[in-house]
Structure 1
Amino acid sequence: MNIDADWEYVADRVMGGVSAGALQVDDVGGRRAHRLAGDVSTQNNGGFIQMAFDLGDAEVFDASSWTGIEIDVFGNDEVYDIRLRTDQLTRPWQSFRATFNAPRQWTTVQVPFTSFEANKTDATFDPARLRRIGVLAYGRDFKADVAVSQIRFYR
């Protein structure tokens, strides 16, 4: 199921970090895509830039009939995070996360729900309670450049 993502940009500056980037719609490798690019810095307790979206207007989205998330990506051969948030989480730093590599060509990456690990929470991931999906450049000093042309749930 294709997701009509309304991506927004968020950076560690909301918490005092100094990472800098931008989210824009570009032609990347012949495809229209949302591109997250910038400099991730761990200075001042920072370390991320992100593009994320909420899943519709409802409190939660029930994704339990799917196996996971499939994403068409083009990047700079760096590792990025996919972060999921559910209504089980009460703090902005809590999430369920998995990593993927973004090669220098269009690639479809499948991330099964079973590969998401709890981050700063004791909750167990429940795909029936999904609220938000994010793609992050995270955790180390590097130049981020990742584009997403499509994101969807897969069976």
Structure 2
Amino acid sequence: MNYLILNDLSQPEAPAQWRGFSDQVMGGLSQELVTLETIVGVRALRLRGAVRLDHGGGFVQIALPLAHTDQPLDGSSYSGIRLLVWGNGEQYRLHLRTSACYRPQQFYWTPFVAPAAWQQVDLPFSAFQPKGFDQPLNSYQLTRIGIVAYGRPFEADVAVAQVGLYLG
């Protein structure tokens, strides 16, 4: 199998299992707005918000749990994450958490640009860097994926219609 769809919001019956949150969980002032809407003819989950650095903040995020029945998702047969995204041309981050991530500040990340037209973006597992610890990414233990506007003051506007794992 060349591609495994994990979440396809472009389909009308697909549930929006994503959760939005911001740096307010740690005292920051960034604000997020998460909506399910149709953008340029494609149904998607849209994250908008003001990323602010005040009070130690600096992010807004949408996250999708990948672990089902308390078992991590085994992505080891695949090369990386594939997104169908749209945005405002800004750089965002894709965060992955695994069962090795015990603390909230531990995750793996790689940047991507969300263009102003729907585009498929492939992010190889080899591009992900650990944050908050030194363990290499184990793609056989995936527990959560997040799309994050991070680290600088700006207006976030990014949408995701599909998330999957790809071979290649």
The TM-score with structure 1 as length reference comes to 0.97
Matches for 1:11-22 after TM superposition, within 5 Å: 11-22=22-33
What secondary structure does 1:103 align onto?
A: coil
Runs of 4+ in 1 over 6 A off after TM superposition: none
* Alpha-carbon shift at residue 18 of structure 1 (Å): 0.2
For each residue in 1:73-112, what CA deviation from the matched residue of structure 2 results, as whole angstroms up to 9, or x when unmatched? 0000000000000011111011000000001000100000
Aligned pair count reads 155
What secondary structure does 1:2 align onto?
A: strand
Counterpart AA for 1:96 = Y
* Alpha-carbon shift at residue 61 of structure 1 (Å): 1.0
**Which residue of the partner structure matches residue 116 of structure 1?**
128
**Which residue of the partner structure matches residue 6 of structure 2?**
3
For each residue in 1:84-141, what CA deviation from the matched residue of structure 2 results, as whole angstroms up to 9, or x when unmatched? 0001111101100000000100010000000000111111110011100000000000
**Which residue of the partner structure matches residue 39 of structure 1?**
50
* Alpha-carbon shift at residue 58 of structure 1 (Å): 2.9
For 1:58 and 1:81, the matched residues in 2 are separated by 25
**The one of 70, 84, 94 aligned to 1:72:** 84
* Alpha-carbon shift at residue 57 of structure 1 (Å): 2.5
**The one of 134, 137, 142 aligned to 2:146:** 134
CA RMSD, 1 decimal: 0.9
Gaps of 5+ in 1: none
Is the deviation greater in 117-126 or in 2-11?
Answer: 2-11
For 2:113 and 2:124, the matched residues in 1 are separated by 15
> What percentage of aligned pairs have identical amino acids?
40
The TM-score with structure 2 as length reference comes to 0.90
What secondary structure does 2:103 align onto?
A: coil
* Alpha-carbon shift at residue 25 of structure 1 (Å): 0.3
Matches for 1:18-97 after TM superposition, within 5 Å: 18-55=29-66, 56-97=68-109
For 2:72 and 2:161, the matched residues in 1 are separated by 24
For 1:69 and 1:40, the matched residues in 2 are separated by 25
Counterpart AA for 2:44 = A
